[in-house]
Chains A and B, each alone.
Chain A
């Protein structure tokens, strides 16, 4: 069975925000909620790098561990999803997530914090597949249509890869061999098992 993962190639990302737009459009995400965003590291310093960040569907997801109502579950494909009917919008998952993935829409007249919303790997949620209820709560279920996440499939430079871990890591490995540089995959250590080693070196004057 496929183990779904995201991989962002910082050598290729041109910060076009196409992935952000694709996600927003695909799931009709409300104003103020960003399931995916593009972050630029060392902005303004020569050699800056941009990466597309969303829920990484971690192997040992910290959001699942801290949720007081246990509304998270992991599918057999390794996608971390949650039941919005149970979510109380406490925000613990936001503090636990190393990627800042959980989002909280403002709800009601007084701007109350609504139920948590995050990337679903375009896999919907615990409602009947491709139903109106599923779309309203979680967005479109592309996985049930045999498709991969819209952000990865829309990426113009193929910097953002999404899908079966074995396949996308093979694609990335071939790229690195052909170009001869840029083998570091941002976020993989944090999300899918941190290898023992040194912390990432920061160039002088690094800001973010």
Chain B
């Protein structure tokens, strides 16, 4: 009786293991699609801590710093 239960448990485990493979997506080369590592956003780091608005504000200030007519000086850092 005990042996049968063990065999059934092992069988069920093996079945689950095999069925799990059905959910795996095949790794196939797709023509024209980027194949490399994913890159993070420029605001996803220690300085901006994911705050996109702060990053855009910093970039905007730097952008305006290139305009000598506006007399808007970019912050130095």
* Residues of chain A at the chain B interface (Cβ within 8 Å): 2, 69-73, 75-77, 81-83, 85-86, 123-130, 141, 143-148, 152-153, 158, 161-164, 167-168, 171, 174-175, 178
B21-34 to A contact mask, C-beta < 8 Å, 1/0: 00000000001111
Q: Is the CB of B59 within 8 A of A148?
A: yes
* Residues of chain B at the chain A interface (Cβ within 8 Å): 31-45, 47-48, 54-56, 58-60, 62-69, 74, 77
Q: Is the CB of A153 within 8 A of B42?
A: no
Tell me what chain B mostly uses at the interface: helix, strand, loop, or mixed. Answer: loop
With a cutoff of 8 Å between Cβ atoms, the chain A residues found around residue B56 in the complex are: 2
Name A72's closest neighbour in chain B (CB-CB).
B34
Q: Is the CB of A125 within 8 A of B63?
A: no
With A152-B66, A153-B62, A174-B67 as given contacts, are A143 and B37 in contact (CB-CB < 8 Å)? Answer: no
**Interchain residue pairs with CB less than 8 A apart (7):** A71-B34, A126-B37, A126-B38, A129-B42, A144-B42, A145-B77, A161-B66
Give the distance to chain A from B5, nearest Cβ to Cβ, in Å: 49
Give the distance to chain B from A92, nearest Cβ to Cβ, in Å: 14
Q: Is the CB of A70 within 8 A of B34?
A: yes
Name A166's closest neighbour in chain B (CB-CB).
B63
